[in-house]
Amino acid sequence: MNNLSQLRDKIKNKSKKAALKATNLIQNSFGLSGGNMTQHDRVVFDLKGYIVIPAVLNKDEVKVIKDLVLRQKNDPESLPPHERYLPGGAFAKLIDHPAVMNVLLDVIDPDVNKIRLENAFLSYREKGEGEWNPHAGGPTTNPNYAYNFQDGRIYAGMTRVVWELNEVLEDKGGTCFIPGSHKANYNIRTNPVTTIDARDSGLWESYSCPPGSLIIFSEAVRHSGDIWQNPHNPRAAIFCAYNHINVRHHKPTIPPEVIANLDPKHQRFFREVYHPLFD
Ligand SMILES: O=C(O)CCC(=O)C(=O)O
């Protein structure tokens, strides 16, 4: 290949890349790619690091999932082996629930094949149970906790999707957040400030929501579990950790028989960690 044709190819590639970048920028700015997150939710997620989507599941749907997780907790032997652990059994169809995917396609990657589910567990707390344990927040170079905003869109790493199966009352035990701390400049993750982390510092935000609601947050936002104080019901919440296919935070613990029995459209969330470009 002579120098002139090499130069021509180089210019061609560069202009292709520039056109793609401009297209992405326009699409991202007008919310034309990714999920169908409303502009309201998109801005709130970016601003605070979390959003609450109330009553995504109806009463009957909540009952089915609650029955499953309580059986998994109290009487696992009564279930076939592949339904004894999350995300198996009736829960599986929630892996790619449209309300979840609308957000993940916007904040992790617009290509569903680049989104993984790392783990899922039940958080069950009776009144008085739980602990105050602030973590995350501030800048990080660790890609699994990444939170970036570039070319008109969010690029998040680990993103928690929480299904609240019982009612949550504000400041009575739901997950707490310091809104905006995923973009804080001071490193409150490695250099925590006691007066900021105190539960009564006035900087923590919680939420109330009916059963079947979704809380979705960037693992980069400073957050904490809390002591459950709701006198009416225990906390029953399913915590799912989604991430970009390029990184993994958790050691894999989901039994292979659980994954083997999922529908193929759900199995793809448990692919190995690598870039699908190499398929
Ligand atoms: O238990 C909670 O409400 C919060 C859990 C938590 O800290 C986490 O997901 O990293």
Q: What is the pLDDT of residue 131?
A: 97
State the distance from the centre of ligand 1 to the C-alpha of 251, rounded, in angstroms: 17
Kindly give, in sequence order, each residue whose CB lies less than 8 Å from that of residue 261, ignoring residues fewer than 6 positions away.
82, 83, 88
Q: What is the pLDDT of residue 132?
A: 98
Q: Which atom of ligand 1 is nearest to the CA of 226?
A: 3
State the distance from the centre of ligand 1 to the C-alpha of 175, rounded, in angstroms: 6
Q: What is the pLDDT of residue 24?
A: 55
Q: Which atom of ligand 1 is nearest to the CA of 135?
A: 7
What phi and psi, each to the nearest 5 degrees, are found at residue 154?
A: -85, 140
State the distance from the centre of ligand 1 to the C-alpha of 260, rounded, in angstroms: 28
Nearest Cα residue to 172 out of 226, 234, 233, 236: 226
Assess whether the previous peptide bond of 87 is cis (omega < 30° from 0).
yes
Q: Using CA atoms, how far apart are residues 239 and 119, in angstroms rounded to an integer?
A: 8
State the distance from the centre of ligand 1 to the C-alpha of 42, rounded, in angstroms: 22
DSSP-assigned states of every residue in 8-70? HHHHHHHHHHHHHHHHHHHHHHTT-SS----HHHHHHHHHHSEEEE---S-HHHHHHHHHHHH
Q: What is the pLDDT of residue 12?
A: 73
State the distance from the centre of ligand 1 to the C-alpha of 174, rounded, in angstroms: 9
Q: Whose CA is nearest to atom 5 of ligand 1?
A: 225
Q: Which atom of ligand 1 is nearest to the CA of 160?
A: 9
Q: Whose CA is nearest to atom 4 of ligand 1?
A: 225
Q: Which atom of ligand 1 is nearest to the CA of 174?
A: 3
Q: Using CA atoms, how far apart are residues 199 and 278, in angstroms rounded to an integer?
A: 47
Residue 162 near residue 215, CB atoms below 8 Å: yes
* pTM of the model as a whole: 0.89
Residue 106 near residue 38, CB atoms below 8 Å: no
Q: Which atom of ligand 1 is nearest to the CA of 130?
A: 1
- Look at residue 89 and give its three-state secondary structure: helix
Q: Using CA atoms, how far apart are residues 176 and 196, in angstroms rounded to an integer?
A: 13
Q: What is the pLDDT of residue 120?
A: 97
Q: What is the pLDDT of residue 33?
A: 57
pLDDT tens for the chain, residues 1 to 279? 577 777 777 777 776 666 656 555 555 555 555 778 999 999 999 999 999 999 999 999 999 999 999 999 999 999 999 999 999 999 999 999 999 999 999 999 999 999 999 999 999 999 999 999 999 999 888 888 889 999 899 999 999 999 999 999 999 999 999 999 999 999 999 999 999 999 999 999 999 999 999 999 999 999 999 999 999 999 999 999 999 999 999 998 999 999 999 999 999 999 989 766 666
Q: What is the pLDDT of residue 13?
A: 72
Q: What is the pLDDT of residue 68?
A: 98
Ligand 1, CB within 6 Å, residue ranges: 123, 160, 175, 223, 225, 239
Q: Whose CA is nearest to atom 1 of ligand 1?
A: 225
**Residues facing residue 124 across a β-bridge:** 236
CATH number for the domain running over 37-278: 2.60.120.620
Q: Which atom of ligand 1 is nearest to the CA of 239?
A: 9
Pocket mutation for ligand 1, best pick of 223, 228, 229 (most atoms within 8 Å of C-beta): 223
| CA triple 247-69-134, angle to 5 deg | 50
- Look at residue 122 and give its three-state secondary structure: strand
Q: What is the pLDDT of residue 175?
A: 98
**Residues facing residue 154 across a β-bridge:** 149
| CA triple 152-159-202, angle to 5 deg | 90
Pair of tokens at residue 65: 């999932």
Which amino acid is it at 235? R
C-alpha torsion sign, points 33, 36, 39, 45: negative
